């Protein structure tokens, strides 16, 4: 591990990322649309309503990225004989991708899609794609990195399958291509157990590589995202689903849109708290009336006659704190009462000689 470096923020479209900017929240659709263009558009509407900043798809072109030798990671499909068939079923045309990008922009979302081939990069580049996401399995795809870097736009690299040395090699290679870089801590397990999320890695990535660092989470729980926000993460990417009962291999690793809204609301709440430091003395001054109600004063333990010399067993601390402060007990000992004092009220200065 090298010494900590100065962190250089980046921009994804018009959105600043890193160096104290609010965390970029990315709703990852992946293949959850199941090849349905209408469903893909529905994900855009739901992601915008849930408070996402960006929506991310995956652009697969079967003939450009796969062969019949590719196996399913999880044999889930009831209709695709091969993984190649599945990628074909997930394809949209260039015009359909353009329509999705236009819809996202109309909803105020940054449109992103992971490209898995140079052909996919070329397709997305024509849409003015503002940044490039490289999935964890593509950390050795230097052809993709070169094609992406040729556009001059930043690259967001997930590290779910990489060792530290491989992360360093990929980061150096991307920077050598002359584009900005951001890194995601990711654990490529679906779903990811909470004890494997690796929040500690986020800070290490940022400090070691001097770039924004985020969490690409597959836990299916909002807790990692909330914890990452509390630690000052720069980006969060999570898969989203309309319902836990839907079909698809990523559903167990996804957040519902209600859970995504919790993360977005937490970001706003954390930002509000961070932007408003509290002056404890000022707050105490503003709560003077409340302080009087909740603190205590000296009161007699029993009815006391005029002329009584006060002893420790004659006084106790009771509410409210508007009389002689209970902390002044030692000062009161040995003082003589100037008049009778009842047991049901505070000791007052005028009670004393």
Query: What is the residue-wise DSSP string for 101-115?
Result: HHHHHHTTPEEEEEE
The last residue of one of the domains, among 257, 274, 291, is 274
Which is nearest to 311 in space by CA: 333, 289, 287, 285? Answer: 333
Alpha-carbon distance 173 to 324, whole Å? Answer: 72
236: helix, coil or strand? strand
- Tens of each residue's pLDDT in the chain, 353 residues: 444 567 889 999 999 999 999 999 999 999 899 899 999 999 999 999 999 999 999 999 888 877 766 677 667 667 777 878 887 888 999 999 999 999 999 999 999 999 999 999 999 999 999 999 999 988 889 999 999 999 999 999 999 999 999 999 999 999 999 999 999 999 999 999 999 999 999 999 999 999 999 999 999 999 999 999 999 999 999 999 999 999 888 899 999 999 999 999 999 999 999 999 999 999 989 998 998 899 999 999 999 999 999 999 999 999 999 999 999 999 999 999 999 999 999 999 999 99
Alpha-carbon distance 30 to 244, whole Å? Answer: 16
The last residue of one of the domains, among 253, 274, 295, is 274
Give yes or no: residues 266 and 288 share one domain. Answer: no
Cβ atoms of 86 and 105 closer than 8 Å: no
Asked, for residue 197, whether it belongs to a domain, the answer is: yes
The pTM assigned to this predicted structure is 0.85
Domain with 346 in it: 282-351
Which is nearest to 29 in space by CA: 133, 138, 148? Answer: 133
Q: What CATH number does residue 337 fall under? A: 3.90.1210.10
The last residue of one of the domains, among 274, 297, 313, is 274
Asked, for residue 1, whether it belongs to a domain, the answer is: no
Count: domains in the chain: 2
Direct distance between the N- and C-terminal alpha carbons of the chain, in angstroms, rounded to an integer? 74
Q: H/E element holding 269?
A: helix 257-274
For residue 12, what are the β-bridge partners? 15
Asked, for residue 171, whether it belongs to a domain, the answer is: yes
Give yes or no: residues 112 and 194 share one domain. Answer: yes
């Amino acid at each position: 591990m090298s010494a900590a470096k100065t962190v250089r923020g980046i921009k994804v479209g018009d959105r600043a990322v890193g160096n104290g900017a609010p965390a970029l929240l990315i709703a990852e659709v992946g293949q959850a649309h199941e090849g349905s263009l209408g469903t893909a558009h529905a994900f855009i509407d739901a992601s915008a309503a849930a408070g996402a900043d960006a929506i991310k798809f995956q652009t697969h072109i079967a003939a450009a990225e796969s062969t019949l030798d590719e196996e399913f990671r999880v044999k889930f499909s009831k209709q695709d004989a091969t993984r190649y068939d599945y990628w074909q079923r997930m394809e949209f045309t260039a015009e359909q991708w353009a329509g999705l990008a236009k819809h996202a922009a109309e909803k105020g979302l940054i449109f992103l899609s992971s490209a898995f081939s140079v052909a996919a990069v070329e397709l997305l580049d024509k849409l003015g794609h503002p940044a490039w996401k490289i999935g964890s399995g593509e950390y050795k795809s230097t052809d993709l990195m070169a094609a992406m870097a040729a556009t001059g736009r930043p690259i967001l690299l997930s590290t779910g399958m990489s060792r530290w040395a491989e992360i360093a090699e990929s980061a150096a290679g991307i920077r050598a291509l002359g584009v900005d870089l951001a890194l995601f801590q990711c654990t490529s397990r679906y779903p990811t157990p909470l004890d494997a999320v690796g929040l500690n890695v986020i800070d290490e990535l940022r400090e070691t590589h001097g770039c924004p660092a985020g969490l690409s989470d597959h836990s299916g729980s909002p807790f990692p995202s909330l914890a990452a926000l509390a630690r000052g993460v720069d980006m969060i990417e999570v898969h989203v689903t309309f319902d836990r009962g839907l079909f698809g291999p990523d559903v167990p690793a996804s957040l519902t849109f209600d859970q995504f809204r919790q993360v977005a609301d937490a970001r706003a709440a954390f930002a509000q708290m961070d932007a408003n430091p509290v002056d404890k003395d000022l707050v105490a001054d503003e709560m003077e009336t409340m302080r009087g109600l909740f603190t205590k004063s000296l009161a007699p333990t029993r009815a006391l006659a005029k002329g009584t010399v006060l002893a420790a067993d004659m006084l106790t601390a009771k509410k409210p704190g508007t009389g002689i402060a209970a902390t002044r007990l030692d000062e009161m000992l040995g003082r003589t009462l100037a008049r009778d004092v009842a047991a049901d009220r505070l000791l007052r200065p005028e009670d004393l000689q």
